[in-house]
Structure 1
């Protein structure tokens, strides 16, 4: 299950990796997403069965909307004459990115809380796998960015929008 959730982070990291990122930024992004993939399911597991049906759908919708928005902004920035990227994974942008990627972990945490899963094992595996897979996606995205040049940011935005649409529909 941690691998499946981490694959979303990988795919989204692949899109975000098409921005020009330094290795230090890639390290920080992976660690932040890993941390959010620990916090969100922990919150979900503690809330438990009472609200799983209600909040699970809301978390997915919010995550999908945020990814669609970020994708649209990346595509818009790719066609802008100003080469400064509008979406940058630093500060608030990094927190919003990590939150949007980890919202599905909240829903999974709600379900796991119902079944009484081992909290520590779940949290550690979710965080570790999402961190490693995010790094892999970001590094692969940077290689694709080198091949595609100026079109890479638009492709990255399309990837983010596709995952946002997948969450919404």
Structure 2
């Protein structure tokens, strides 16, 4: 794979994490750059590790990984998205009561859910001549940048649309999961 292909792949792998990060940023009480970078780092590390795991599994058992990845991603994103939607429809949270930061485990679960497709990509890369370590690092770096930007975009969207931003973020996660599932089941081109 050439550099341009690697960069395009990295950008494509980070777009769903960006969408999730916008929702995460919107639900926080005025997130600062430090929290955005923390979120980006968590997502980026996970997004860099999953293609490596997929590549290793692809070397051993590619059909197993690719036959279930879409169901895993869909399930995780559905649960996380429905949780956000439910929270968004609960009684309004005053700005002062919004969390200042999300828990590590919530961010890690969301990061994992949005990176399952990177695991499948890693499995596919096991069959071509590619430096998986530099490719995974590029995907992780792109995700770190996109998620950091996404949290800060969410900060401004959250202020503009209030608590309903959490509903929108949850709907985005459910939509991402549904698209992943539909693509793998052959309903989308």
TM-score where L is the length of structure 2: 0.81
User: How many corresponding residue pairs?
Assistant: 168
Structure 1 or 2, whichever has the larger Rg, is 2
Match of 2:119 among 81, 96, 106: 106
Match of 1:143 among 156, 159, 166: 156
Q: Give the 3 Å change call, closer, same or farther, for CA 141–82 of structure 1 in structure 2.
A: closer
Render the CA deviation track for 1:79-118: whole Å, top value 9, x for unaligned: 21273679x7313212211111111110000001111311
Return 159-168 or 73-82, whichever deviates more.
73-82
CA distance in 2, matches of 1:85, 1:104: 31
Q: Which residue of 1 aligns with 2:88?
A: 78
SS in 2 for 1:139: helix
Render the CA deviation track for 1:124-162: whole Å, top value 9, x for unaligned: 111100110111111111111111012111111111111
Render the CA deviation track for 1:64-86: whole Å, top value 9, x for unaligned: 11111111111111121273679
Unaligned 5+ segments in structure 1 are none
CA distance in 1, matches of 2:176, 2:146: 16
CA distance in 2, matches of 1:62, 1:79: 26
Please tell me the root mean square deviation across aligned C-alpha atoms, in Å.
1.9
Match of 2:50 among 37, 40, 51: 40
Answer yes or no: is the 8 Å Cα contact 1:89–1:97 preserved in 2.
no
2:133 is the alignment partner of 1:120: yes
Render the CA deviation track for 1:36-68: whole Å, top value 9, x for unaligned: 111110111122344222212312211111111
2:81 is the alignment partner of 1:68: no
Return 45-54 or 24-33, whichever deviates more.
45-54
Answer yes or no: is the 8 Å Cα contact 1:77–1:85 preserved in 2.
no
